[in-house]
């Protein structure tokens, strides 16, 4: 029975007769907060942790961004020549393949991150992401090695997908557990700043290459350059992550240090138990996270991944021109995303998330009606309307999602929920929209799809609890100064008496 239910059923007369007993019960439920319980954050360490986590996230979305922006070219390189639509569908199907193993990666890396520590697992995922992306840039074409080309492409996409299964959950957990409670939204927004930076880097490099090289050069060797760039980026990210200490929240877990040391010998037996605990004891927050991520990822992938293909293939708009407009929108999002994070610290996560969901609910169809006019100004306006709605979610989600779960299962639960939802709804978005347009014959299908996702998102936001400025569940408070810690201890010591 929940504590609140128990409190409501207590007979006041019983409390009066057994004051000592009920005081003991109250002390056990709400132990006195000691100064040693409170984490006073080191701002320099928080900034280093944020930078390392954000760079890894940028790497992840750079990987997926270049694949999305070069989807048509990749289809021609790796799949048999013939029908252009079939090649594009083959390319998007391979894009979606990586998302099929993301839940598996989340189920492996997530519980390990809760046992062995966040830092170690995030270093492993960084290496795997860089290797997978770099290897794709080395695969010979279908014309050279036949069916081995798409087979190798699928294999390394699976490596990418497996590694990213542990990336977002770990990176958002890492920042959330390092940041002070009152600024978690601000520091968390840098994770999605990294997302946008990855997309901007990918789209910017593709625009430069397609501008400098001929179509024939891009098809034969130019497309490889963005994939090969992943290697140095991965080494930089790995270096930054290895220099960090474990998060304060993980270090303060009871037995956390012992668990980290003993995990290597207990991984096989503990992984199943940890997953079972997540699904049986934490299924309510798991469902909430699934719904939030579904709504967020459908709109995210539709705008940032699929839109250049939509403009070129459905509206016959120049690929470079479409990418430049989207690049402008993403740069504007980068300029305001940290302010969105600050606003979520001040006004709460729910108002900002609701604003983003309602934006897609009411503005998706008008935005696509503007976009399909084909005029550069109207296309920019339509993308900006959706971009502003998306940035309200981008700047808030990375602080809101980790707070749903308690510390001891945060990495695992968030990785499982995030990746299952992303695999089912996010990574399949380009493929589903392309198929829906082909089936129903209307290029407004992306708008209808985003509107449906927003309905789910609105319901999920209504069901979530506000967590701004509160300690993470299962962790002691985290503050910025010693003075703030002393004030908090004094405020918490004024416990009501029976």
- The predicted-structure confidence for 216-230, as pLDDT tens digits, reads as follows 888 889 889 988 888
For the whole model, what pTM was predicted?
0.79
Interval 88-98 mean pLDDT: 76
| Residue 455: per-residue pLDDT | 96
Burial letters 337-360, b for 16+ CB under 10 A, else e: bbebbebbbeebbbbbbbbbbbbb
Report residue 355's pLDDT band, with 50, 70 and 90 as the boundaries.
very high
CA dist., res. 332 & res. 387, Å (int): 9
Residue carrying structure tokens 């392309």: 434
Cα angle 15, 16, 18 (rounded to 5 degrees) comes to 65
CA-nearest of 193, 192, 183, 254 to 41 is 183
Q: Coil, strand or helix: which one is 40?
A: strand
Per-residue confidence band for 174, with pLDDT thresholds at 50, 70 and 90 = confident
Q: What is the pLDDT of residue 350?
A: 96
CB 40 within 8 A of CB 482: yes
The tens digit of pLDDT for each residue in 319-339 reads 678 778 888 998 999 999 999
Of 305 and 495, the structure prediction assigns the larger pLDDT to 305
Grade residue 13 by pLDDT with cuts at 50, 70 and 90.
Answer: low
User: By 3-state DSSP, what share of the chain in percent is helix, strand and coil, each rounded to 5?
Assistant: 80, 0, 15
Is the pLDDT score of 126 beyond 80? yes
Both tokens assigned to 130: 């860089």
The span from the CA of 229 to the CA of 361, in Å, is 38
Of residues 24 and 286, more confidence is placed in 286
Residue 292 has pLDDT above 90, yes or no: yes
Angle formed by the axes of helices 167-178 and 376-400, nearest 10° = 60
**Amino acid 435: pLDDT:** 86
The C-alpha atoms of residue 140 and residue 77 are separated, in whole angstroms, by 9
Look at residue 241 in the predicted model and tell me its pLDDT: 77
- Highest mean pLDDT range out of 125-129, 142-146, 341-345, 403-407? 341-345
**pLDDT over threshold 90, residue 393:** yes
Any residues with CB less than 8 A from the CB of 298 and at least 6 apart, and which?
425, 426, 429, 449, 450, 453
Helices 429-440 and 84-100 cross at an angle (nearest 10°) of: 140
CA–CA distance, 444 with 433 (Å, rounded to integer):
10
Rounded to 5 degrees, φ, ψ at 430 are -60, -40
Q: Give residue 321's pLDDT.
A: 80
Q: Are 140 and 178 in contact, with CB atoms under 8 Å apart?
A: no
How far apart, in whole angstroms, are the C-alpha atoms of residue 190 and residue 251? 23
Give residue 160's Cα distance to chain centre. 15
**CA angle, 261 then 285 then 124, to 5°:** 35
pLDDT at 457: 95
**Other Cβ atoms within 10 Å of 63 Cβ, number:** 28
Average pLDDT, the chain: 81
pLDDT confidence bin for 31, thresholds 50/70/90: low
What's the confidence (pLDDT) of residue 82? 67
- Quote the percentage of the chain above a pLDDT of 70: 85
Q: What is the percent of the chain with per-residue pLDDT over 90, rounded to a whole number?
A: 23
Q: Is the CA virtual torsion 338, 343, 346, 352 positive or negative? A: negative
**Cα distance from N-terminal residue to C-terminal residue, the chain:** 22
Q: Given this model, what pLDDT does residue 1 score?
A: 37
Q: How many CA atoms lie within 13 A of 183 on its CB side?
A: 18
Q: Average pLDDT for residues 49-65, to the nearest whole number?
A: 82
Which residue has better confidence, 100 or 495?
Answer: 100
Whole-angstrom Cα distance, residue 111 to residue 167? Answer: 13
pLDDT of residue 18: 61
Q: Does residue 450 carry a pLDDT above 90?
A: yes
DSSP element (H, E) containing 479: strand 478-479
Between 410 and 24, the more confident residue is 410
Query: Which of 157-171, 197-211, 257-271, 288-302 has the weakest average pLDDT?
Result: 257-271
Q: What is the mean pLDDT of residues 10-15?
A: 63
d(CA 49, CA 46): 5
Residues 6+ positions from 12 with CB-CB distance below 8 Å? none
Q: Which residues of 306-324 are buried (b: 16+ CB within 10 A; e: fewer)?
A: bbbbbbbbbeebebeebbb
Determine the average pLDDT of the residues in 38-58.
Answer: 82
Contact between 451 and 365 (Cβ < 8 Å): yes
- The C-alpha atoms of residue 381 and residue 75 are separated, in whole angstroms, by 30
Residue 15 is predicted with a pLDDT of: 62
Show the CA angle centred on residue 294, arms to residues 131 and 342, nearest 5°.
Answer: 85
Phi first, then psi: give them for residue 40, nearest 5 degrees: -95, 115
Does the CA dihedral 87-93-97-98 come out positive or negative? positive
- Average pLDDT on 127-135 reads 86
Q: Quick one: tokens of 222? A: 């130019």
Out of 66-80, 357-371, 458-472, pick the least confident.
66-80
């Amino acid at each position: 029975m929940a504590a609140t239910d128990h409190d409501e059923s207590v007979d006041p007369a019983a409390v009066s007769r057994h004051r000592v007993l009920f005081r003991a019960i109250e002390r056990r439920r709400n132990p006195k907060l000691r100064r040693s319980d409170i984490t006073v954050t080191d701002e320099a360490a928080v900034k280093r942790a944020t930078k390392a986590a954000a760079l890894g996230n940028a790497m992840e979305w750079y990987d997926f961004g270049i694949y999305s922006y070069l989807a048509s070219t990749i289809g021609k390189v790796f799949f048999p020549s013939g029908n252009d639509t079939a090649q594009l569908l083959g390319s998007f199907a391979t894009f979606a393949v990586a998302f099929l193993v993301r839940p598996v990666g989340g189920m492996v890396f997530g519980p390990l991150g809760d046992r062995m520590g966040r830092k170690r697992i995030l270093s492993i995922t960084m290496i795997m992401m860089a290797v997978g992306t770099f290897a794709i840039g080395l695969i010979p074409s279908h014309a050279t090695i036949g069916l081995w080309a798409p087979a190798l492409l699928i294999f390394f996409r699976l490596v990418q997908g497996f590694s990213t299964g542990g990336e977002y959950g770990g990176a958002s957990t890492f920042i959330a557990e390092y940041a002070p409670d009152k600024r978690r939204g601000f520091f968390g927004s840098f994770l999605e700043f990294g997302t946008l930076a990855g997309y901007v880097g990918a789209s910017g490099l593709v625009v430069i290459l397609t501008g400098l090289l001929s179509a024939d050069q891009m098809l034969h060797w130019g497309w490889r350059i963005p994939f090969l760039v992943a290697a140095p980026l991965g080494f930089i990210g790995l270096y930054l992550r290895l220099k960090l200490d474990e998060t304060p929240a993980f270090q303060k877990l009871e037995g956390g240090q012992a668990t980290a040391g003993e995990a290597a010998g207990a991984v096989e037996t503990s992984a199943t138990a940890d997953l079972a605990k997540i699904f049986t004891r934490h299924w309510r927050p798991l469902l909430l996270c699934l719904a939030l991520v579904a709504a967020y990822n459908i709109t995210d992938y539709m705008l940032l991944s699929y839109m250049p293909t939509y403009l070129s293939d459905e509206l016959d708009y120049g690929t470079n021109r479409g990418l430049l407009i989207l690049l402008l929108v993403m740069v504007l999002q980068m300029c305001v995303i940290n302010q969105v994070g600050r606003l979520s610290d001040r006004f709460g996560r729910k108002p900002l998330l609701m604003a983003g969901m309602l934006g897609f609910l009411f503005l998706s169809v008008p935005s696509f009606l503007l976009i399909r006019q084909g005029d550069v100004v109207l296309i920019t306006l339509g993308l900006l309307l959706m971009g502003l709605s998306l940035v309200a979610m981008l700047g808030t989600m990375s602080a809101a999602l980790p707070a749903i779960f308690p510390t001891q299962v945060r990495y695992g639960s968030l990785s499982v929920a995030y990746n299952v939802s992303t695999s089912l709804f996010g990574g399949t978005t380009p493929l589903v929209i392309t198929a829906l347009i082909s089936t129903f014959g209307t290029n407004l299908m992306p708008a209808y799809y985003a509107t449906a996702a927003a309905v789910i998102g609105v319901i999920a936001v209504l069901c979530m609890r506000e967590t701004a400025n509160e300690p993470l569940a299962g962790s002691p408070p985290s503050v910025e100064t010693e003075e703030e810690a002393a004030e908090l201890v004094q405020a918490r010591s004024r416990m009501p008496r029976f």
